[in-house]
Structure 1
């Protein structure tokens, strides 16, 4: 999970993630980029972040209004040292997705962050259902037609990430940041290799091409590949198309992550 953490200069150590967020990053796999409030909307628009965290002394609506008026859809959670009821109501009414105390337990904060990202992706539970595909986030398992797909830990991470972000094309840089937050990142070609291996495993379950390759950009979950067998057969007969030949060649991507501050990566 990639987080843009916007610090508050009025708070002591406001240029660092609060202790709850830092500990949540240790317990989960989170990549944190610290930023000041200047240029935040443009940073969120140009770079891929799963959620923005606003660290504030008390909930303040001004920055949230700016983000929402800039039509940036990235979910936002406010972490404040004090949370008066009226101010919490105000930030929620102008577009914040949640508002919590800075003293929140790390395990609860991590669960809230994941729940918000899940809901934004159109998923209302810890189990993601996409046609024949089921991703059990709590158990870290992937099933096709209720049959367990034997994925490695990293392969599962790729499937979960693309399932959570269904409909979106993710660059290799984004996938690497999400999978190796805080760790020494391998060469980008490792993602191409994992995608190829997952394809081969999924093919044994009757899923020909679980991912769509966007050349020069990245990968996207191919929802049509997981359509129920009867539906897919009907669609294929009514509109026959020639399937693309699978390839394991790496995607060449020149997209770079842009931000207005340094990156702090923390992971378990």
Structure 2
């Protein structure tokens, strides 16, 4: 079930949009301000967001800019009563994917959301999320609950491999082949060394994941219960 974020400070409008989308089978979360929108987007996996432009304190344009600045590819539909060409250009330049003028028919909003969800589902995914851990292969950046997690290239590659095969035990030879590209002329202890590096940097409580040693076999990444 696709999850949709609605950012709307008009409680009645937010409730109507949410009800309509839920009737169409979406899982919907509604927030009424930019700060809560950014927190929700950082901590949950949404297929698309519909964001009102005219919000208190932080506009929809600013929310889009913040999302894109931290590398989020969340598809965004801006909702606004401002229909001037320059406003639409500003919205698209801020990182929005689409723009819908108020008042609108719900069927049009629904069609725009469907298009964004289809586009997002078809796009190749460079970002991998497990619990509070996020790994972006396009930028080789890691974060925990939205906060940067500084990693070397090899540390990132090792952690992403473990995350991509969550719960699966990987032998040292498998890890060497995937991360270092070969098992020849490399001391297998280097895997243990890099696992140690990751454990020093990765707080299991904050990240919600932990690297576990499987004695005599290798390593695996598990979610914290």
Instruction: Output the TM-score relative to the length of structure 2.
Output: 0.48
Which one scores higher on RCO, CA 8 angstroms, separation ≥ 6?
Answer: 1
Between structures 1 and 2, the one with greater helix share = 2
Please report the TM-score for the alignment, with normalisation by the length of structure 1: 0.42
